[in-house]
Amino acid sequence: GTINLYVGVVDIGGGQKTILGMIAAEELGVPSDAVTVMIGDTQDTPYGPSCHASRCTPEMGPAVLQAAAEAREKLFEHAAILLDTDHKRLGSKDGIIYVKSDPRRSIPFKKACQNMGVDESIVGLGSRAPNPAEPMMATFGAQTVELEVDTETGRVTLLKCVAAQDFGKPINPKLCVSQVYGGIEFGVGFALTEEGLYDPKTGKLLTGNLSEYRMPTPLDFPPVEVYLPECEDPFFAYSAKGAGENTNAPTPAAIRNALYNATGVWFNDLPITPDKIIRAMREGTKGVS
């Protein structure tokens, strides 16, 4: 009665393993901890896409859903014999297969599997290619930033960030919120601190370690409010879109716009460091800098 999900992707820290396991569990009607997810093993798993560009949930999710649905229907055909009914009249929830019109007639998921014999197994297959060429395939987001600028030092203090992200219907809202936090932290670095500097004569990288390549710390991170408005999306597994790079794209633009509101200068050269701000303010620059 064990359930193994084999997928050709790897978990790069975005919760891919958790999300795909939850999709399979939901479709099979079992608790999420009943599914063991096997990832990143080219000997046993099928080929799949890489996990960049927030592709895992929108591309692998529907394939997992399809595979789980196929396996469920095969199991229902066997369980229907044990419950003396038609497999189309069966449903499953919390690891129990039951007759929809009379839920008292039921059998545990594991027992139905065990009745098939020790040498039997059920295999469900799923695929996703190509993705539909629809505008709804994209994820959308909006962010606002409140900040202060020290006119003597050029230091920027972020006071607050509000983010609204369209992830369709998040399968795991906590994971999605954590992705938004991480994306905003990336965006803060892009906008204000992170820069690859090279010696103009030798071409040697001057910011090759974390003492010189300035990444934001928790002290640089503003309070964040996250809103995840839900929307139906027929192209994805349970309407769930990807949540990754799309969370950091609005942040530099929101910071740049807030700096214009504070200083009257459009800064087009990232990162917007204190020296650039001081220079623009001393020169009385208005417009583009």
What is the distance, to the nearest Å, from the Cα of residue 124 to the centroid of all Cα atoms in its chain?
25
Catalytic-role residue among 73, 194, 245, 283: 245
- What the block records as the tokens of 39 is 């990832």
Burial degree of 243 (CB within 10 A; 0-12, 13-18, 19+) = buried
- Scan for tokens 């992200």, then name that residue: 165
- Length of the chain as a residue count: 289
DSSP summary character for residue 5: E
User: What is the radius of gyration, based on Cα positions, of the chain?
Assistant: 25
- The answer to whether 229 and 173 have CB atoms below 8 angstroms apart is no
Active site residue 245: yes
Beta bridge partners of residue 92, listed in sequence order: 97
- What the block records as the tokens of 230 is 């839900």
- What's the CA gap between 284 and 231, in Å, rounded? 46
- The answer to whether 26 and 19 have CB atoms below 8 angstroms apart is no
- The answer to whether 240 and 57 have CB atoms below 8 angstroms apart is yes
The residues annotated as belonging to the active site are 245
